[in-house]
Amino acid sequence: MIVMDSVRCVHLFLVKKKRWYNEGLIGYFRAIWNRACYVLQLLQTYLFSAFKEPYEGDETLLSHRHEKIALLGAIQSLFEGSMYTFVFLWTPALSPNDEEIPHGFIFATFMLASMLGSSLASRLMAGSSLRVESYMQIVFAVSAVSLLLPIVTSFLIAPSDVKGGSMSLSGYCQLVGFCTFEACVGIFWPSIMKMRSQYIPEEARSTIMNFFRIPLNIFVCVVLYNVNAFPITIMFGMCSIFLSMAAVLQRRLMVISDGHKSKPEEWTMQERDTEAEPLND
């Protein structure tokens, strides 16, 4: 079908040049979009019908497993959406009046902070005193506070109307918060991967996480489309709210995980007996 659309575009270009843009190019990309939507629907139907649960005898266990997966996907979408929004906002936040800022040095500082965060995460996961579900609540809370600095500095420090020049005091304060956020990003990646391996089956892990990236991509596109429609402080406030929601969901995930681990011994024995039963009498 796509080949036929390409032939139609060539025909319109050779025979009806005036209608090339209106019916040829736009129609071609519209046809590709429609075909992609059909394929997406077919794949979605197949995945929902082919996905098999590892446990079929205990509805309570299934509900807890589903809730863990949903919470983990929502946490990742909220954090990554805030992170990608931050990528597009940190430059105008540090130079609201076209100040001359060292972009390369600042970006290298962000990468250094992220590397330090990853190193800290490896040490935290290597120890047995803290669980991932526990310290990630603190990470999300610190991330939310760090992205509140542009709003706080806008109230505490009088903005300058002078165009150009070097970075202002408000910019330096925000830079500290942004480096803190990048350190939290460095902690986030290895920690979220460990939680994925704990709660999501390996055979369906990539498929499930790709489903949660759909609202993430929609959110990022909406933010980029309306980036000039709202003040930058509102954008950072929205990101801070999302990170706070991620912290609350992380707390819920830890409570469910602790409750499942501390269930009675009789329940565990009942699950084992259920799994040991033959499928056919």
Give the per-residue pLDDT at 32. 61
Cα(29)–Cα(22) distance, integer angstroms: 11
More confident residue, 39 or 154: 154
Cα(36)–Cα(272) distance, integer angstroms: 44
The string of pLDDT tens digits covering residues 134-174 is 999 999 999 999 999 999 998 888 777 777 788 888 999 99
Give the per-residue pLDDT at 75. 95
**C-beta separation of 257 from 68 below 8 A:** yes
In the chain, what percentage of residues exceed pLDDT 70?
Answer: 70
Give the E-state strand segments of 105-215 in sequence order: none
Place of tokens 């610190």: 142
Give the per-residue pLDDT at 250. 96
> How confident is residue 247, by pLDDT bands cut at 50, 70 and 90?
very high
User: For all residues of the chain together, what is the average pLDDT?
Assistant: 79
Domain residue spans in the chain?
Answer: 2-44, 61-259
User: What are the distances in angstroms from CA 124 to CA 128, 135, 198, 246, 255?
Assistant: 8, 9, 17, 20, 20
Give the E-state strand segments of the chain in sequence order: none
Give the per-residue pLDDT at 279. 46
- 2, pLDDT greater than 50: no
Q: Give SS3 for 193.
A: helix
Give the per-residue pLDDT at 14. 47
More confident residue, 36 or 195: 195
Distance of CA 7 to the CA centre of its chain: 40
Locate 121 and state its tokens: 């995460």
More confident residue, 19 or 141: 141
Supply the pTM of this predicted model: 0.72
Locate 150 and state its tokens: 């542009």
**C-beta separation of 106 from 94 below 8 A:** yes
**C-beta separation of 35 from 3 below 8 A:** no
The string of pLDDT tens digits covering residues 107-135 is 999 999 999 999 999 999 988 788 999 99
In the chain, what percentage of residues exceed pLDDT 90?
Answer: 42
E strand or H helix at 27: helix 26-50
Q: Give SS3 for 134.
A: helix
Geometric angle at alpha carbon 192, from 186 and 194, rounded to 5° = 110
> How confident is residue 80, by pLDDT bands cut at 50, 70 and 90?
very high
CATH of 61-259, picked from 1.10.8.420, 3.40.50.300, 1.10.3210.10, 1.20.1250.20, is 1.20.1250.20
The most confident of the ranges 46-55, 60-69, 92-101 is 92-101
More confident residue, 211 or 2: 211
CB count in 10 Å sphere of residue 150: 27
Give the per-residue pLDDT at 220. 81
Closest to 187 in 3D by CA, of 239, 242, 250: 250
The string of pLDDT tens digits covering residues 215-224 is 888 888 888 7
